[in-house]
Amino acid sequence: MRGLIIKDLLFLKSSWKNYLVIFIGSLLISIALGNYTLAVCILPLMILSSGINTFQTDEFYNTESYTLSYPLSRNKIVLSKYIFTLILLLISIFIGLIIYYLILYIGNPSIKALSHDVIKELLMLQAAALLVDSFFYPVIYKFGCEKSRLVLMSIVMGILGIGSIISVYMDFSKTSINIDAIVNYIQTNGLFILSWAVIICITLSYLLSILFYKKKDY
Amino acid sequence: MNIEVINLNKDFKDFKLDNINIQIPKGKIVGLIGENGAGKTTLLKCILGAMYPTSGTIKLFDSSNKSILKDDIGVVFDDSFIIETYTCIDINLIMKNIYKNWDSKAFYKYLKEYKINPRKELRKLSTGMKKKVEIITALSHHPKILILDEPTSGLDPIIRSEILDIFKSFVDNGKNSILLSTHITSDLEHIADDVIFISNGKIIFDKPLSIIKNNYIVLELTKEEFNNFNKEDIVRYKENRIDYQVLIMEKDMKNDYKKYIKNITTLDDIMLLYIRGSICAD
């Protein structure tokens, strides 16, 4: 299993030029805007999204059948992908913190726009990205990368459609639901809620991925 | 027995592997031949666990627990390997963390022997070089079985000959074996002990190469000779523009075939006549 994690980590190595370009771009935009949130958050977010990219690369180079010839059970092959994603999470947060402190202390000590909220935003973004991953992975195991895009687009369109219908036919001012209170609660406890949501979703996602992967022919 | 496949069936919407029974004994090279889409790769993938059979049993080293035993299997697929942006150094790093018996020294020795730069990305290597890396990777964890799907395609005759020598020496210890699927049947004629011919998901024959070579004969007959030929002796025939190609089995012959033109019979001829040829109506 360690070999598969190393295989996916090596994929990061091959993408370092892309990451450098993204970081420089986000830094330049941040300087222009005078807000460094983008510079701190975008590169970690891109690194975390590499988890999905490894699926695409495996599919592009058609490595799946070969992977199944390794002396590893299908459960371990799936587990390696989730462990890799968690390693990506650690790497991306670490890099985000390095960028934060570099900007704060070395780059320009007079920057005021960089508050501690940036770290909170970074963590919330990473948690949200993990939620997306936890949704994507089982769908990819079930349908493959190409089809999963269509499936996910259909789901998103469906959710947006239902949301639109609700917003048209439901007048929230007449209900007992206090939207402001909900928004306030999320703003205050967002990271806590997201952390629990991530733990639950990743666990469910892993179990679903195993279920799908175990049945699939390559 | 290193591999035993018993009553294997695999159903698809428009194709099925139909009741496959094969055995790969220790110390033997077994060739798997057949047209594109005959079911060769499906059979290999079922053996390796990349596909699930609809029914049937697959035994590796007389056991059904595949994941433990895969340490002893080296694989070359026709269309599936490592991500091509990786180098051989990356492959070594990955494989030594996958296979218990991975031998880095042997891996680098092979690379040196075949003049492959370990720092070069796979996508920058020629087709032949890439195939060599796949074969080297399959050999470097000292497997007991090699399962090879088109291992010599894209290689020039000299390299092919070198690779075939490696395969021959691999089975020399009498314990290892090779299951080799290929379109280059001339390779099999040099190294195979047994040949399994599969067509449209069914096994047409599974015989020692020596018996195939000694028993099957392809004759070229004129139309008149064909009309006078005893049809009971004909296994398959194919009508060409000016003559007939006729496949016969020597042991079943009632005619004196020696008076007819006899070509050197190749596996390609036999395969072609079985697939494209006709059976004589009574």
Three-state SS sequence of B116-143: CCCCCEHHHCCHHHHHHHHHHHHHCCCC
Q: What are the tens digits of pLDDT across the range A90-129?
A: 988 888 888 888 877 766 555 555 566 778 778 888 888 8
DSSP line for A125-157: HHHHHHHHHHHHHHHHHHHHHHHHHHHHHHHHH
Residues 6+ apart with CB under 8 A from B67: A71, A72, A73, B49
Chain B interface residues (partner A, CB cutoff 8 A): 45, 48-52, 67-71, 73, 75, 77, 79-86, 90, 93-100, 147
Tell which wins on pLDDT, A37 or A134. A134
Half-sphere exposure of B74 (CA within 13 A, CB side): 24
Q: Which two tokens stand for residue B178?
A: 């090779």
Of B68, B73, B94, the CB nearest to A69: B73
Across the interface, do A2 and B97 touch by the CB < 8 Å criterion?
A: yes
What average pLDDT does this structure show over A8-25? 85
Three-state SS for B261?
strand
Of A180-194, B4-18, B22-36, B197-211, where does mean pLDDT reach its minimum? A180-194
Q: What are the tens digits of pLDDT across the range B44-60?
A: 999 988 899 999 988 88
**ipTM of model over 0.90:** no
Across the interface, do B80 and A4 touch by the CB < 8 Å criterion?
A: no
Residues 6+ apart with CB under 8 A from B49: A68, A69, B66, B67, B70
* Closest C-alpha among B174, B168, B86 to residue B124: B86
What average pLDDT does this structure show over A30-51? 80
Look at residue B131 in the predicted model and tell me its pLDDT: 87
- Mutation target for B interface from A12, A58, A61: give the one with most B CBs within 10 A: A61
Residue B51: list chain A partners with CB under 8 A: 217-218
Look at residue A186 in the predicted model and tell me its pLDDT: 72
What average pLDDT does this structure show over A116-143? 85
Look at residue B253 in the predicted model and tell me its pLDDT: 62
* Closest C-alpha among B9, B26, B82, B33 to residue B212: B33
Confidence of residue A150 (pLDDT cuts 50, 70, 90): confident
Q: What are the tens digits of pLDDT across the range A170-197?
A: 766 666 667 777 777 777 777 778 888 8
Residue A53: list chain B partners with CB under 8 A: none
CB pairs under 8 A between A and B: 85
Look at residue B109 in the predicted model and tell me its pLDDT: 93
* Closest C-alpha among B26, B29, B71 to residue B181: B29
Residues 6+ apart with CB under 8 A from A157: none
What average pLDDT does this structure show over B115-137? 90
Q: What are the tens digits of pLDDT across the range B159-206?
A: 888 888 889 989 988 889 999 998 888 888 889 999 999 988 999 889
What is this structure's pTM? 0.82
Of B48, B84, B94, the CB nearest to A7: B94
Look at residue B235 in the predicted model and tell me its pLDDT: 86
Residue A68: list chain B partners with CB under 8 A: 48-50
Q: Are A134 and A202 in contact (CB under 8 A)?
A: yes
What average pLDDT does this structure show over B100-122? 92
Q: What are the tens digits of pLDDT across the range B69-95?
A: 788 999 998 877 888 889 999 999 999
Q: What are the tens digits of pLDDT across the range B195-238?
A: 999 988 999 889 999 888 888 888 888 888 888 888 888 888 88
Residues 6+ apart with CB under 8 A from A20: none
Q: How many CB atoms lie within 10 A of CB A82?
A: 19
Whether the predicted pLDDT of A154 surpasses 90: no
* Closest C-alpha among A98, A88, A84 to residue A23: A98
Residue A215: list chain B partners with CB under 8 A: 52
Q: How many CB atoms lie within 10 A of CB A200?
A: 12
Kindly list the strands in the beta sheet with B145-149, ordered across the sheet, starting from the edge strand earlier in the chain. B73-76, B145-149, B177-181, B29-33, B194-199, B202-208
Whether the predicted pLDDT of A213 surpasses 70: yes
Q: Which two tokens stand for residue B92?
A: 């070594």
Look at residue A172 in the predicted model and tell me its pLDDT: 65
What distance lies between CA B20 and its chain's CA centroid? 15
Q: Are B61 and B11 in contact (CB under 8 A)?
A: no
C-alpha Rg value of chain A to the nearest Å: 20
Q: Is B65 exposed, middle or buried (0-12, 13-18, 19+ CB in 10 A)?
A: exposed
Residue B100: list chain A partners with CB under 8 A: 71
Across the interface, do B67 and A7 touch by the CB < 8 Å criterion?
A: no
Distance CA A146, CA A151 (A): 9
Q: Which two tokens stand for residue B93?
A: 């790093």
